[in-house]
Structure 1
Amino acid sequence: MHAITWRTYRDRVREIALGLVDHGVQHGDRVAVMSSARPEWAFAALAVQSVGGVVVGVYPTNSPAEIEQILAHSEAVAFIGETTTELDKVAEIAARTPKLRLVVGMDTAPSALPGAITGTTWEELRTEGARPPGLVSDRLVEMVAATRLDDPAVLFYTSGSTGAPKGVAHSHRTLQHSVQTVVGLYPELDSREHDIVGFLPLAHVAPALLLIFTPLLSRLVVTYCRIEDYEDALRTVRPTALLWPPRFYEKAAGELIARTQAWPRVRRYAYKGAMWIGRRMAECRWSSGHPSVLLRIAYTAVLHRVFLPLRASVGLDRLRVAFTASAATPENVIALWQIWGLDLRESYGLTETAGCPVAHFDQAFPRPGYIGRKFPDPRFQVEVAHDGEMLVRAPLLFREYWRNPEETDAVLQDGWFRTGDLIERTAHGEIRLIGRKKDVIITSGGKTINPQPIETRLKESSLISEAIVVGDARKYLTVLLEPSTQAKALTSGVLPDRLRAELGRVNRDLARAQQLKDFRVLPRPLEAERGERTANGKIKRNAVVNSFAALIDEMYAGNDGTVIANHLRPRSH
């Protein structure tokens, strides 16, 4: 690992900022950055903002067509790419992005570009931006002073899980308030150093907020690494702060469970006893009870002798509190980590909020299934609309959807942001997320059903990695299942029965209209390249339904609607 001081950070930002200005980048211009998580991403972002520009994040997995859409919509004048892969993609579409006039390669020179576009390298840009310190200071001060708090600072493009991606514009002010909520999650960030490992794409709002902007206003220290190296980095750094999407907690938990199953018999018995004690402690915490002295002593012993050494094997032993966001987390995942002594809490944020207006800010080891309460600041308000939708009013809300006033007006009304998420709230202010308005399924019988809670229950099973409930305009619900790694070890004769048993487990707690009548196992994993997942891993429901239409039709072969559709379908002769 290579340490970067704040002095070096300042120098790199200064050099890149002035290099961009020499190439004509001005106040208000948009500059796109496309690379893996690395220090240069942060240097570029701060350099663009220093000249009064707007940084635009592009996912490394984006296709040339998606890159073209983002560059054209944002009217980006410059593009900074990491490797030949990114640079080749932008070279392919550069002629169709009329505002683009500069392409910078971090690790290599750009590919052949249309004549009107200049290509250069990161090091050349730094060299061009190097100036005598006095001149630099004056020029930078002037550029920074010309930028106002409410000027746009960054465009985050939404994942496109419910339609075409939208450019979510955040200002310098909204980013500052968003950082305030992150510090609310980890109050000690103000008083002592915390370590975090950064590997998730910085084009996504949560990693960008946590890894680029929060360190500017706290004592958070970031270690960047490539996503394929993050497990080694975790064991080396042993982070003290963590905010991950659910799938990474699930993956780490699965790895640890596999380790315990490979232990010698005596050690497995000891682990089983430790889990019994851990469950008793967790249940006591969730019921707001007071554990007995004997239980506290026993739990302290198993924590230090069993659970912390187990967590140390994946580098998570120094964590005291961790957060999960971006999707609903199966309750069993949260419960397991809490039993293992990690205070794992759900939080809530969207691209439009950047930070977390709702989270468990001060409640240790909360009961799984709730995303917390509103941020403890009177300027942050949460209400529930008549249809159950969560409404948020807060100083961290985005400015607008870039050049899309109709969409902006549809969700920002009288200062309230319509989140599109359906919630329930207890008398004590605890908030439970129960689904998305746009994800509702309306059956042919007129029943409106939120599929997400059903999918979350299914994914609590160790055999199920993904579950996509279908049934819109159908007589009943069915589900597509992506088996977990553990399930793939089962024989083809055993797996269907085990999965059917999991459906039965979930169906027992559901009303008749919500029950799943059949399932199919997906023949392959869902892929971002096929449009079935967004760049940050979320399921694109419509795309999945289109990809596996034939598989879905099999589950409705005897259904009236399918019979009629088949009868009317043209037949070949």
Structure 2
Amino acid sequence: MDLTNFEPTRTLPGLLLDRANREPDAVALRHWRDGVMQAITWRTYRDRVQDLALGLVAQGVRHGDRVAVMSGARPEWVFAALAVQSVGGVVIGVYPTNSPAEIEQLLVHSEAVAFIGETTTELTKVAEVAAHTPKLRLVVGIDATPPELPEVIKRTTWEALCEEGTQYADDSADPLSELVAGGSLDDAAVLFYTSGSTGVPKGVTHSHRTLQHSVQTFVGLYPQILSHEHDAVGFLPLAHVAPALVSVFAPLLARLVVTYCRMGDYEDVLRSVRPTAVLWPPRFYEKIAGELIAQTEGWPRLRRYAYHAAMWAGRRVAERRWSHRRPSVPLRIAYAAALRWVFLPLRATVGMDRIRLAYTASAAMPESVIAIWQIWGLDLRENYGLTETAGCPIAHFDQPFPRPGFIGKEFPDPRFQVKVADDGEMLLRAPLLFDGYWRNPAETEAVFEDGWFRTGDLMERTPHGDIRLIGRKKDVIITRGGKTINPQPIETRLKESSLINEAIVVGDARKYLTVLLEPSTTADARSAESLAERLRAEVARVNADLARVEQLKDFRVLPRSLEIERGERTANGKIKRNAVVRSFAALIDDMYGANDDAAIANHLRSRPK
């Protein structure tokens, strides 16, 4: 693949056919189930897709139809996606955590004609709302038979549908190739629904062409996967754009072998596979780093001394890298010893010793988390992508061990362009941009300006061209005094503390800022008073570096964790700020006192005596 002049020539199922013809017996992917690893070749991959695709055709699924898949990360999700696309259809990922109401909204909006569910749990959810989805006419169970459904909807199992496809194929020598030949690069391939963190989820339409340009940028992060086999572990929901891009579509063009497993098994699978390529959301790096730090604290005294000495060398090497200074020869020797005898063995305990380059996206990561992994020898870099880009038009493509806090530069292809609007918003122009919001031309038109996509993110660029995100345009807080404040940098600073899992800064239309804190599960909570004092110290630490109008005047500890089921988090874990503010309105009002406008609102709502 020419990374700077790449132009797709085949649809995604066409790429599958090419790989199956070129290397039929090579391993395409693996599956971990109950401690057993199963390898699947490209020939088997193609055959599974063919059987399912023909089964869908036999059930009346046609070019342009939408098919929803609700499942964890497993090979069947991949087979389903490529089978639907082989028919010329559009696959829709549904999060396993979605409620029946959310499933109904998605099926109705997309006018999906078929639904593929993993277990009885998912199938029962769709059965609850099936009567309200007028276009749905087929429900397929992967591990279970669907429950009773309205008569107009056929229910079947994965095995039965594939068997039907096998019989349907008897009349043709190469039925999958015939199906795939009817597709076009600009056909819609996937509908990724946005998380809904700022409103009703939108269906983001990506074509076979835009997804391959997205893969182009992913390969740009890790060019070695074109020539040498690399291993990855797939456990994140494939309904989300980044895991789907990395685990489902990138392997069609690159030599990346994904081992799929359940979310609950990923730690065991990491240790077994020892992956070489990683792209995770920040919370996984945070979680694993916390576990490793706790592990070192339990080491014998002599080993702890060795670790502290290694950290001394690691910090100094990191500081020199960030300031573009070459470490001295003695320091390089000391760090090489630290890496070999301390840091790599430490990382090996969680299966991360073979990784030399890792990326994170989807949310801001505390700089301290990036720093600790870089000190431990993992070249962890932030990059930038949205559901609307699928790939990463901005990243540290050729900057090893970059200073934390920056997301990099544009992808090195002249078709990828970034500029800053007058109000600081990042604007993008690139061939990986989505084709529009599904059946929502008004929303699509609203996010484009003279061919530039309005990202909704605020950015600044250094004289060297490095880009830093400084907040979300829609997340800005405007205080009663007219001050505009971006809460995300403040929240990120707070979450650097090991005591704090989530921080939600509030203060829109208020006189000052306050914050809701969700303590970390590892925080020592021997008494509420003790925890409150320690959290107060963390707030004071952050306030010390803030301008007066940005300082947090008070805080409250959330009485419970934020929940997807209550609408406070999106399916991929992001905070829905407005929902949190509604859920804890009384707690927030308590931080502003009787003089706040909440008192007037309460007076208006109260009934006269």
TM-score range, shorter chain: over 0.9
Q: Which moved more, 1:130-139 or 1:398-407?
A: 130-139
Change in 2 beyond 3 A, CA 1:316/1:136:
farther
Partner of 2:18: none
Query: What is the alpha-carbon distance in structure 1 between the residues aligned to residue 168 and residue 44 of structure 2?
Result: 16
1:389 to 412, 425, 428: 425
C-alpha displacement at 1:485, in angstroms?
2.2
Q: 1:132 to 1:536 in 2, by over 3 A?
A: closer
- Cα deviation, residue 267, structure 1: 1.4
1:153 is paired with a residue of what secondary structure? strand
Mean Cα displacement is larger for which, 43-52 or 124-133?
124-133
User: Per-residue CA shift, 1:339-385, capped at 9, x if unaligned?
Assistant: 00000000000000000000001100000000000101000000000
Q: 1:327 aligns with which of 363, 379, 382?
A: 363
Secondary structure of the corresponding residue to residue 251 of structure 2 = helix
1:475–1:559 contact (8 Å) kept in structure 2: no
Aligned to 2:461: 425
Match of 1:11 in 2: 47
Give the match's secondary structure for 2:428. Answer: strand
Kindly report the root-mean-square deviation, in angstroms, between the aligned alpha carbons of the 2 structures: 1.2
Matched with 1:186 is 222
1:100 maps onto 2:136 in alignment = yes
Does the C-alpha gap of structure 1 residues 46 and 232 become closer, same or farther in structure 2, counting only changes over 3 Å? Answer: same
Q: Aligned with 2:529: secondary structure? A: coil
- Counterpart CA distance in 1 for 2:99 and 2:168 is 41
Identity %: 77
Distance in 2 of aligned mates of 1:239 and 1:266: 30
* Contact 1:338/1:365, CA 8 A, preserved across alignment: yes
Q: Specify the SS of the correspondent of 2:39.
A: coil
- Write out aligned runs for 1:202-221 (5 A): 202-221=238-257
User: Displacement of 1:557 after TM fit?
Assistant: 1.3
Structure 2 counterpart of 1:549: 585
Among candidates 522, 527, 540, match of residue 558 of structure 2? 522
Q: What is the CA-CA distance between 1:560 and the residue it aligns to? A: 3.7
Structure 1, unpaired ranges of 5+: none
Q: Residues 96 and 564 from structure 1, CA distance in 2 versus in 1: closer, same or farther, beyond 3 angstroms?
A: closer
> What do residues 303-353 of structure 1 show as CA deviations (whole Å, max 9, x unaligned)?
011101111111111000000000001000000000000000000000000
Check the 8 A contact 1:67/1:90 in 2, yes or no.
yes
How far did residue 539 of structure 1 move?
Answer: 0.2
* Structure-1 separation of matches of 2:493 and 2:595: 26
The equivalent of 1:25 in structure 2 is: 61
2:27 alignment counterpart: none
Which letter maps to 2:423?
D
The residue aligned with 2:447 is 411
Match of 1:311? 347
In structure 2, distance between residues paired with 1:489 and 1:321: 36
2:24 is matched with none
Secondary structure of the 2:373 match is helix
Instruction: Return the alpha-carbon distance in structure 1 between the equivalents of residues 58 and 459 of structure 2.
Output: 50
Moved more, 557-566 or 61-70: 557-566
Match among 151, 160, 164 for residue 187 of structure 2: 151
Letter in 2 for 1:385: A
CA distance in 1, matches of 2:244, 2:452: 24
**1:98 partner SS:** coil
Aligned counterparts of 1:349 and 1:216: Cα–Cα separation in 2 = 20
Please state how far the C-alpha of 1:487 moved relative to its aligned partner: 1.6
Which residue of structure 2 lines up, in the alignment, with residue 434 of structure 1? Answer: 470
Letter in 2 for 1:337: W
Structure 2 regions of 5+ residues with no counterpart? 1-36
**Partner SS for 2:370:** helix
Q: Is the 8 A contact 1:48 1:54 kept in 2?
A: yes
Q: Distance in 1 between matches of 2:579 and 2:608?
A: 27
Quick one: distance in 2 between partners of 1:398 and 1:500?
44
State the secondary structure of the residue aligned to 1:2.
strand
Change (3 A) 1:270 1:491: farther
Tell me how far 1:564 sits from its aligned partner: 3.7
- Contact (CA 8 Å) 2:49, 2:80: kept in 1 or not? yes
Q: CA deviation at 1:145?
A: 1.5
Q: Secondary structure at the match of 2:45?
A: helix
Structure 1 residues 254-275: Cα deviation after superposition (integer angstroms, max 9, x where no partner): 0001101111122112111111
Deviation at 1:140, TM superposition (A): 2.2
Q: Which residue of 2 aligns with 1:36?
A: 72
In structure 2, which of residues 280, 283, 286 is the aligned counterpart of residue 250 of structure 1? 286
The structure 1 residue matched to 2:108, chosen from 54, 72, 80, is 72
Q: Distance between the aligned counterparts of 1:28 and 1:132, measured in 2?
A: 21
What are the within-5 Å matches in structure 2 for residues 446-525 of structure 1? Answer: 446-525=482-561
Moved more, 142-151 or 153-162: 142-151
Q: How many residues align?
A: 573
Counterparts in 2 of 1:366 and 1:165: CA distance versus 1, 3 Å: same
Q: Give me the whole-angstrom Cα distance separating, in 1, the residues matched to 2:231 and 2:524.
A: 36
Match of 1:241 in 2: 277
**SS of equivalent to 1:482:** strand
Residue matched to 2:389:
353
Aligned CA distance change for structure 1 residues 137 and 323 (closer, same or farther; 3 Å): farther
Q: 1:137 to 1:303 in 2, by over 3 A?
A: farther
- Alignment-mate amino acid for residue 361 of structure 2: A
Q: SS of 1:130's equivalent?
A: helix
CA contact (8 A) 2:314 2:335 kept: yes
TM-aligned CA deviation for residue 563 of structure 1:
4.1
How far did 1:492 drift?
2.2
Distance 1:188 1:490 in 2: 49
Who is 2:296 aligned against?
Answer: 260
| Cα pair distance change 1:444/1:236, threshold 3 Å | same
Counterpart residue identity of residue 192, structure 2: F
With normalisation by structure 1, the TM-score equals 0.98
C-alpha distance in structure 2 between counterparts of 1:265 and 1:431, whole Å: 43
In structure 2, the partner of 1:48 is 84
Give me the TM-score of the superposition, normalised by structure 2.
Answer: 0.93
